[in-house]
Every structure is written in C-alpha cells, then in structure tokens.
Amino acid sequence: MTDLRKPTHPGEILREDVIRPLGLTVTEAAKRLGVTRKTLSALINCKASMSPEMAVRVSKATKTSPESWLYMQAKLDLWIAEQKPTKVEGLGEAAIV
C-alpha cells in the first residue's frame, strides 16, 4: 500500500530540526560530523541519500539511533520506488518459508 504523502527526506529533518535550531552553519556542522561541507550540503539539500556511515555520525552527534535515520531514508526510497509503474509476473504457487 502506497502512502499518499511523500516521506520527508532525512537530510531535511537534520537541517530543520537540528542544524538550524542550533544556529550552526553548514561548515560548522560538517566539521562536527567529520565530513566535508559538500557532503553535508548534498544531504541537507536532499540531493544525496542518508548512508549508513552518515547515519552513524548523525546519531552519535544527536544522541539518536542510526536505525531511525536509515528508516527515514528507507521509507522515502520505498515510496519513490512505488510511484514508478512496475510490471511483474506472479511467481506461481511457491511456498514462502
């Protein structure tokens, strides 16, 4: 079942709920996370996905779980995939174990 509303990109959450309220620049936030400004900018501008490595960095910096950040990304990725028409044939009566 496809949700009607597109899930929020985890980079947008990071930008709006963490970086902006703390008054951090992208450069300062990137430095604190141990990544390049370019890498963080791509993420918070929704041009790049949240990687497992970045999820670990963000979770340590925000005292959250890396799974929560990856779950946000997975929900978005799945929503995007479900928007594309996909033609498949059934696999028959195969038993699912």
Per residue in 60-74, pLDDT (tens digit) is 999 999 999 999 999
Instruction: Quote the pTM value.
Output: 0.86
Domain assignment present for residue 56? The answer is: yes
Indicate whether 85 pLDDT > 60: yes
Domain assignment present for residue 5? The answer is: no
Domain assignment present for residue 90? The answer is: no
Average confidence (pLDDT) over 24-41: 98
pLDDT value at residue 29: 98
Which DSSP symbol is given to 43? H
Looking up residue 40, the CATH number of its domain turns out to be 1.10.260.40
Mean of pLDDT over the chain: 94
User: In terms of C-beta density within 10 A (0-12 exposed, 13-18 middle, 19 or more buried), how is residue 84 classed?
Assistant: exposed
pLDDT value at residue 2: 56
